[in-house]
Amino acid sequence: MVCNLSTLFLNRLLDTPQRIVIHSPHQGSWTAARLFAQSVRLSARLRALGVKTGDRVVARIEKSPQNVALYLAALHSGVIYVPMSMAYRAQELGSFLADSEPRLIIASPSEARLFQQLAPTVPCLTLDVDGRGTLVGETGDPVEIMSAVTTHPESVALILYTSGTTGTAKGAMLTHGQLAAKARVLVDLWRWSEQDVLLHAMPLSHAHGLILSLMPALTSGASVTLLPRFTVEDVLRELPRSTVFTGVPTMYHRLLDDRRFGAETCRRLRLAISGSAPLPVAIFDDFAARTGQFILEIWGMTESPTNTANPLEGERRGGSVGLPVPGVTVRIVNLEGKPVSPGDVGQIEVRVEEQFAGYWRRPDETAAAFRPDGFFRTGDLGHLSADGYLVIVGRSKEIIITGGYNVHPNEVEAAINALPGVRNSAVFGVPHPDYGEAVTAAVEAIPGSQPLSETHMITQLKEVLASYKVPKRMLVLDDLPRHETGKVLRRGVQDRFKGLYDKR
């Protein structure tokens, strides 16, 4: 069976070529014909450069319509698209490049030198938000209509990096068949149509922004208002013209903090979706009181986007991530893998009809992630109600979810422990009214060293870590609590500071 994901989108563009499919506050409006033309132009360029089916193409460019066109071009060409967040720092990028071994890097012009230093043997071409750069030349190549490269449902379309239980990033391989099936399910589940206008404020390097938000919009023929990043001002300006908004709890919290936000702002909105992090019930209730609408909370992972969702019609239950979506089975098991009774907390496992292909070049970790009967061990803890609603109560993995991003304590601790004067550290998540969880660190100084400055340490970390990984607070302690083996006990410090960000 042949299944190139790009045909799902590009064929839709050809149906109504003069329809506006993307509007950007800075790059103007793009018709379906323009997006199609740029996508096939870039696809032809990739093929001319000798990039072959299955080669990895790393992309790190500013969010823009050009970014969307490049994603479609990579799919069309049969290459594996590896998007990189603009938040990553050089050290992080270097580890991802070493792991993915790309055939080509496409970067914003300002970052070409950085990538040449990080991967000197890999060609690096540039593409800016206006479509200029060495990828297309000064004037751009003529459009060459070419058929999509033949792929199969199990062919890998995307590698998205996700935190692992050891703190080492793993590349989740998402396939053409998996993503096509998910796009169709979401279109049907939320009744997307050509009349919809999606307000898109998520990154295009993240499963939420790329898969949950963008793909059903393109599949259904909806139009997309593409914001370069989330700001309250931009969302307040564009939301009255939008029918769908997808975001993370932090975004909803910041909107609700603005007195201008309310029912009038959401007068055309039919669907507000929240994912990537637990939605506090207070935000769910406040949004309903202010707008008369209920946020539709979902739950998914990089490996399996959108496993459960509150219903479009029916009860949207605050504090719950809803019911399994079509094609997904959810179960709760104990440590031995045996199902528990409704209402009992246990390990959440999912089985998906179109499963991800595993972790890039990590067969042992892939095998360990699955039960023999095909259920995937999510690492989350939760319980199912008698009527099938899932509630997530925590994570068996120690990942911190802050503003919708995953952060592993080990990675941040390694960066802190490399700072002058630091003997050891413990990094943990603390409840935060804005971010859901705030990355927080307790730091132990080397005896006799210069006093540690919280401000100075944070400044140093910003040079080596993405901003969302940098602790909001760094608390200097005389001693960190330890197990009898000498291992630092994160939970001991976490419990001590669990009210650190409470509003006074």
Average pLDDT over residues 436-447: 93
Q: What is the pLDDT of residue 164?
A: 43
Residue 234 has a pLDDT of: 97
Task: Provide DSSP, 3-26.
Answer: --HHHHHHHHHHHSTTSEEEEETT
Residue found by looking up tokens 């003069």 in the block: 18
Q: DSSP label at 257?
A: T
CA distance 109 to 124: 10
Task: Give the whole-angstrom CA distance, residue 225 versus residue 213.
Answer: 11
Q: Percent of the chain beyond pLDDT 70?
A: 95
Domains assigned to the chain: 5-229 (3.40.50.12780), 230-397 (3.40.50.12780), 400-496 (3.30.300.30)
Asked if pLDDT for residue 142 goes beyond 60, the answer is no
pLDDT of residue 502: 86
Q: Give the C-alpha separation, 152 to 184, whole Å.
A: 17
The Cα–Cα gap between 252 and 269 comes to 14
Q: What CA–CA distance (Å, rounded) separates 96 from 443? A: 28
Q: How confident is the model at residue 2 (pLDDT cuts 50, 70, 90)?
A: low
Q: Is the per-residue pLDDT at 450 higher than 70?
A: yes
**Measured between alpha carbons, how far is 303 from 394 in angstroms, rounded to an integer?**
18
Task: State the SS3 of 218-235.
Answer: HHHCCEEEECCCCCHHHH
Beta strands in 276-356 (DSSP E): 296-299, 308-309, 323-324, 328-333, 346-352
Mean pLDDT lowest among 20-24, 224-228, 341-345: 341-345
Cβ neighbours, 10 Å, residue 248? 24
For residue 166, what pLDDT is reported?
43
Q: Which of 412, 389, 399 is nearest to 315 (CA)?
A: 389
Residue-level pLDDT at 255: 96
pLDDT at 486: 57
Over the stretch 355-383, which tens digit does the pLDDT of each residue have?
999 999 999 999 999 999 999 999 998 99
d(CA 491, CA 488): 9
Checking if the pLDDT of 225 tops 80, the result is: yes
Tokens in use for 498? 């669990």
Q: How far apart are CA 439 and CA 322, in angstroms?
A: 27
Q: What integer is the mean pLDDT of 242-259?
A: 94
CB atoms within 10 A of CB 36: 23
Cβ atoms of 130 and 109 closer than 8 Å: no
Give the least confident one: 69-73, 308-312, 468-472, 477-481. 477-481
- The three-state DSSP-derived secondary structure of 109-147 is HHHHHHHHHHCCCCCEEECCCCCCECCCECCCCCCCCCC
Buried b (16+ CB within 10 A) or exposed e, 210-235: bbbbbbbbbbbbbbbbbbbebeeebb
Structure tokens that stand for 481 in this block: 């609590």
Question: Tell me, what's the pLDDT at 481?
Answer: 87
Q: In what order do the strands lie in the sheet with 170-175?
A: 124-126, 104-107, 56-60, 80-83, 156-162, 170-175
SS3 for 329?
strand
**Pairing outcome for strands 328-333 and 323-324:** unpaired
Say how far apart CA 73 and CA 45 lie, in whole Å: 9
Predicted local confidence at residue 165, as pLDDT:
39
pLDDT at 148: 82
The model's pLDDT over 150-164, given as tens digits with 9 standing for 90+, comes to 888 999 999 999 854
pLDDT band at 258 (very low <50, low <70, confident <90, very high): very high
In single-letter form, the type of residue at position 435 comes to: Y
Question: What is the pLDDT confidence band of residue 143, given thresholds at 50, 70 and 90?
Answer: low
pLDDT range class, residue 398, cuts 50, 70, 90: confident
The Cα–Cα gap between 416 and 418 comes to: 5
Confidence check: pLDDT of 83 > 90:
yes
Residues 401, 398: Cα–Cα separation, whole Å: 10
What is the rounded distance in angstroms from the CA atom of residue 445 to the CA atom of residue 502?
Answer: 27
Lowest mean pLDDT among 201-210, 403-412, 418-427: 403-412
More confident residue, 190 or 447: 190
d(CA 186, CA 204): 18
Categorize the per-residue pLDDT at 138 as very low, low, confident or very high, splitting at 50, 70 and 90: very low
pLDDT tens track for 285-326: 999 999 999 999 999 999 999 999 999 999 999 999 999 999
Q: Which residue has the higher pLDDT, 70 or 14?
A: 70
Q: Which of 21, 114, 133 is nearest to 68 (CA)?
A: 21
Q: H helices of 281-348, where?
A: 281-291
3-state helix, strand, coil in the chain (%, to 5): 30, 25, 45
Q: Regarding beta strands 296-299 and 271-274, do their DSSP bridges make them parallel or antiparallel, or are they unpaired?
A: parallel
- Give the HSE-up count for residue 245: Cα atoms under 13 Å, Cβ half-sphere: 27
Residue in the block written with tokens 């892939």: 366
Tokens at residue 175, please?
């396939």
Residue 332 reports pLDDT greater than 70 = yes
Mean residue pLDDT of the chain comes to 92
Q: Which residues of 282-308 are buried (b: 16+ CB within 10 A; e: fewer)?
A: ebbebbeebbeebbbbbbbbbbbbbbb
Confidence of residue 251 (pLDDT cuts 50, 70, 90): very high
Using a pLDDT cut of 90, give the percent of the chain over it. Answer: 77
